[in-house]
Amino acid sequence: MASSVVKRTSRKGRRRNMPMSEINVTPFVDVMLVLLIIFMVAAPLMTAGVPLNLPETAASAVPTEQEEPLVIAVPAEGAMQVMDQPVADDQMVTALRAALADRSTSRVFLRADGTIPYARVVQIMGALNAAGITDIVLVTETGGPRMDAAGTGN
């Protein structure tokens, strides 16, 4: 009888020569976690605007829009700003019309410091209304008095 020699190779020997077909997700997860941390830190810094002391109200938040909102900021001191660009009072309507020309919505967000006189806010809103801009949203902070029976009475 002729004896045949069978060469046995261990599993480790075979695996060494075969290409690896599994995806190593550890580096992918590491990169994604770093990106998540970067965006979490950078997101609050990307909110454009003038630092204002906004009045507090009990109003609910306005639903977010798909495009960047058109914002008029009225600080307690300094010039009024349209989209972070200082604008003189007599140029506000012209600047708004130019900004609204390429937008799908005519909504304007008015951010006025809580310390400026009410008359100033009403004057700005009146100028916007006279120019045909009627979709005006007043930006406030939440948590103000509710002024009803269920409110806190602040």
Question: Could you identify the residue written with the tokens 């409110």?
Answer: 151
Question: Could you identify the residue written with the tokens 């609204």?
Answer: 100
pLDDT on residue 143: 77
Question: By percentage, how much of the chain surpasses pLDDT 90?
Answer: 6
pTM, entire model: 0.56
Radius of gyration of the chain from its Cα atoms, rounded to whole angstroms: 30
CB 68 within 8 Å of CB 95: no
Q: Read off the pLDDT of each residue in 111-115 and give the average, rounded to a whole number.
A: 88
pLDDT digits (tens, 9 = 90+) for 32-54: 999 999 988 888 777 656 666 77
pLDDT digits (tens, 9 = 90+) for 65-99: 677 788 889 998 878 888 888 999 889 888 888 88
Q: Read off the pLDDT of each residue in 140-148 and give the average, rounded to a whole number.
A: 79
Closest residue by Cα to residue 87 from 103, 106, 71: 71
Task: Return the ∠ at Cα 106 (arms to 83 and 133), rounded to 5°.
Answer: 95
As a dihedral over the C-alpha atoms of residue 132, residue 135, residue 140, residue 145, rounded to 10 degrees, the angle is 110
Return the DSSP state at 115. T
Mean pLDDT of all residues belonging to the chain: 79
Rounded Cα distance, 92 and 88, in Å: 6
As a dihedral over the C-alpha atoms of residue 116, residue 120, residue 126, residue 129, rounded to 10 degrees, the angle is -40
**Complete domains list, the chain, with CATH:** 56-142 (3.30.420.270)
- The sign of the dihedral angle between the CA atoms of 130, 134, 137, 138 is positive
